[in-house]
Amino acid sequence: MQRTQQDTVSARLPQVQDARNPGMALELDWVASVQANTSAIERRATTLPGRRSVKKDHQAAWLLKAVSLIDLTTLSGDDTPGRVRRLCAKARQPVRPDLLEALGVQSLSTGAVCVYHEMVPVAVEALEGSGIPVAAVSTGFPAGLSPFKLRIAEIEESVKAGAREIDIVISRRHVLTGNWRALYDEVRAFREACGDAHMKTILATGELATLRNVARASLVCMMAGADFIKTSTGKEPVNATLPVSLVMIRALRDYGERTGYRIGYKPAGGISRARDALTYLTLIKDELGRRWLEPDLFRFGASSLLGDIERQIEHHVTGRYSAGWRHAMG
């Protein structure tokens, strides 16, 4: 029988476990050895959208899986409690009940709801009893340039308010100047402040200049105890891309092979179409295997993505495309 790529991945990761990543001592030799062949990475990324094609019932199943992996997000200066409550209601029921019934699905919810600290108590109350976690962006999001003590305090306050996940941002200058010790110490302190709340580490990859910087920053953040590595805040000019994603998931695969711990991955910003979500799911399955297609190891940072997925699901069920406004976030 022909050996598939997923079989190869699974064989290569027999020791990887589901226990939370405790981090490790900073190994600068390992960091310095990390390289990125930009031309090869870009060639591979270019082929990804055409490598796999899923149709009909299979496509609908993949799209429903994508819904369960979305961190439904609102990070606007004009957020209100009413908007957050509506978003939480959408997280509880992301796809219309009649469409789910037609597909034989009894229940479905998103992976999390992501908000600013100020809206954490509202979201926690609105999601009570649902099992859907609240994620809070923190540490001076999106620039990460507020005083260090305030960034630590912000994490602690969000955890006290009920956030079960914290999306922190790193200081990009540490990456751009190659100060890996400073980056490690910063992220380690953030991890300690998170306590039992899982920490997603936002690299802001569009501001890191090179794919090699992305690879090395990913590794350092995992050494410091990151539970997830995440591409972007969604506020940079360039957010999630396939080349960056390929670099980051190979970094977390290498970390798993070396340490025995699985790290999650979250592409965020710019993923707004259902077909893009399918490409990312294919990439994850090809590179890491089926286990990573679960909310504890993979998330989409998105809001408009859900509307397009629901629209595609309605087309699958009815044979007709509906207007986008029929699938509002709340």
Are 281 and 65 a contacting pair, CB within 8 Å? yes
Angle, CA of 306, 109 and 88, to the nearest 5°: 75
Q: What is the dihedral of CA 281, 287, 289, 295, to 10 degrees?
A: -50
pLDDT at residue 303, rounded to an integer: 82
Distances (CA, A) of 317 to 270, 279, 326, 330: 27, 22, 15, 22
**Of 71, 230, 276, 285, which is the active-site residue?**
230
- Among 103, 84, 20, 67, smallest CA distance to 295 is for 67
The yes-or-no verdict on residue 10 having pLDDT over 60 is no
Which strands form 228-230's sheet, in the order they lie side by side?
A: 264-266, 228-230, 198-202, 165-169, 134-137, 112-115, 70-73, 300-302
Compute the average pLDDT of residues 194-199. Answer: 98
230 is catalytic: yes
Are 277 and 66 a contacting pair, CB within 8 Å? yes
90 is catalytic: no
pLDDT at residue 320, rounded to an integer: 83
CA distance 141 to 116: 9
**Of 90, 200, 266, 285, which is the active-site residue?**
266
The yes-or-no verdict on residue 55 having pLDDT over 90 is no
185 is catalytic: no
Q: Domain 21-318 belongs to what topology?
A: TIM Barrel (3.20.20)
**pLDDT tens digit string along 258-287?**
999 999 999 999 899 999 999 999 999 999
Structure tokens at 30: 């390992």
For the chain, what percent of residues have pLDDT higher than 70?
Answer: 92
| Residue spans per domain, the chain | 21-318
pTM over 0.75: yes
Compute the average pLDDT of residues 234-259. Answer: 95
pLDDT at residue 24, rounded to an integer: 98
**Of 71, 167, 227, 308, which is the active-site residue?**
167
CA distance 58 to 293: 15
**pLDDT tens digit string along 61-101?**
999 999 999 999 999 999 999 999 999 999 999 999 999 99
Structure tokens at 5: 């790529």
